[in-house]
Amino acid sequence: MHDTIPVILDCDPGTDDAFALLLALASPRIKLLAVTVAGGNVGLDRTLPNALALVALAGAPERPPVPVFAGADRPLLGSFTSEVRVHGVDGLGGVALPPGGAATAEVAADAIRRILRAAARPVTLVGIAPATNLALALATEPPLAAKVERIVLMSGAWAEGNATPAAEFNALNDPEALAIVLACGRPVVLVTLELTAQALCTPARLAALRVADGGRCLRAACDIQATVPLSRRFDGRGAALHDPCAIAWLLRPDLFTARDCAVEVDLGPGPGRGRTLIDRWGRTGRPANVTLAETLDADGFFNLLGEALVRLP
């Protein structure tokens, strides 16, 4: 049994992506093989430098640098729709970080395939962005799915969306990509809006994170999160910390409950586009294709976050 989990993290930083990326970098159990970047929350011209800056911010002599790869600046069909109201025009709420290094000169989907091909043991793919990079990698070399341990996605909702009444942001931004990933034949864990709503970052929780004797990374993460509007969906009580929930699943699955169920994606052109039709009660008779994360121990989650990020520089 191995004590580390080899991971490729696909992201679109993104305020909550920042927390997820730093949590992954702070966790010795996660062997972060690569960070791949897509557009989404803001354009790739911002998400890429944001990812590079966050990786550099967490850099330390004892930790080998994690390669960052630029990926899709658009979905398989159409274009991404940014969400600057939540992430700011720069993607990190206007919090200026020291610039990071250069991206590794290889397209994200190629890098994912290369890493999977060479992997000594199966790799976990974590997707916290529109799933375009993951879909391009898996669809263009299907046999490589055998080198994928599992896929953990922050995506979808069984009820109301946050991008449209029907669809969650990542799912809506590339529903075809999500459908490809769901159909790749490897175990998929789905972390939906209903789960992430339980990771509600209230002002009190943010204040508690701040008091920890952390370094520049914890301070930056809190400064970034402090720019995120308190959500109308939660009566202004806080903002859901979506993306780090996907990393937390890997680190502390005991903080979650889950059930297997069938999920399909609405690929139509209408108002339901991007909706994830999540059959929690087996009404369709379709075989389960995801493990749906349903409940979260929120206090345990925020403790995990604070205890991890305080370890970073």
Nearer to ligand RIB, 113 or 242 (CB): 242
Q: Which does 124 bind (CB under 5 to 8 A by kind): Ca ion, ligand RIB, none?
A: none
What is the DSSP secondary-structure string of the chain? --SSEEEEEEE---HHHHHHHHHHHH-TTEEEEEEEE--SSS-HHHHHHHHHHHHHHT--TTSPPPPEEE--SS-SSS-----HHHH-TTSSTT-------PPPSS-HHHHHHHHHHH-SS-EEEEE-S-THHHHHHHHHSGGGGGGEEEEEEE---SS--SSSSS--HHHHH-HHHHHHHHTSSS-EEEE-HHHHTTSEE-HHHHHHHHHS---HHHHHHHHHHTTSPPPGGGTTS-EE--THHHHHHHH-GGGEEEEEEEEEE--SSSTTTT-EEEETT--S-PPP-EEEEEEE-HHHHHHHHHHHHTT--
Q: Toward ligand RIB, which CB reaches closer, 124 or 170?
A: 170
What is the closest distance, in whole angstroms, from the C-beta atom of residue 14 to ligand RIB in the complex?
A: 4
Segment near Ca ion (CB under 5 A); pick from 5-13, 27-35, 247-255, 265-273: 5-13
Catalytic residue from among 46, 113, 147, 242: 242
Q: Is residue 242 annotated as a catalytic residue, yes or no?
A: yes
- Residue 168 touches which of ligand RIB, Ca ion, none (CB < 5 to 8 A by kind)? ligand RIB
CB neighbours of residue 240 within 10 Å: 21
Q: Contact region for Ca ion (CB under 5 A) — 8-16, 103-111, 179-187, 207-215?
A: 8-16
User: From ligand RIB, Ca ion, none, which one binds at residue 162 (CB under 5 to 8 Å depending on kind)?
Assistant: ligand RIB
Q: Which is nearer to ligand RIB, 124 or 192 (CB)?
A: 192
Regarding 39 and contact with Ca ion (CB under 5 A), the answer is no
Closest chain position to ligand RIB (CB):
169
> Considering only residues 5, 6, 15, 17, which one is a binding residue for Ca ion as defined by CB under 5 A?
17
Q: Which residues bind ligand RIB (CB under 6 A)?
A: 12, 14, 16-17, 40-41, 128-129, 154, 162, 168-170, 242-243
Compute how many other C-beta atoms are within 10 angstroms of the C-beta atom of residue 120.
Answer: 7
Which is nearer to ligand RIB, 243 or 266 (by Cβ)?
Answer: 243
Which residues 107-166 are close enough to bind Ca ion by CB under 5 A?
Answer: 128-129
For residues 144 and 190, which CB has a smaller minimum distance to ligand RIB in the complex? Answer: 190
> Which residues of this chain interact with Ca ion, rule CB under 5 A?
12, 14, 17, 128-129, 243
Instruction: Give catalytic residues, as residue numbers.
Output: 242
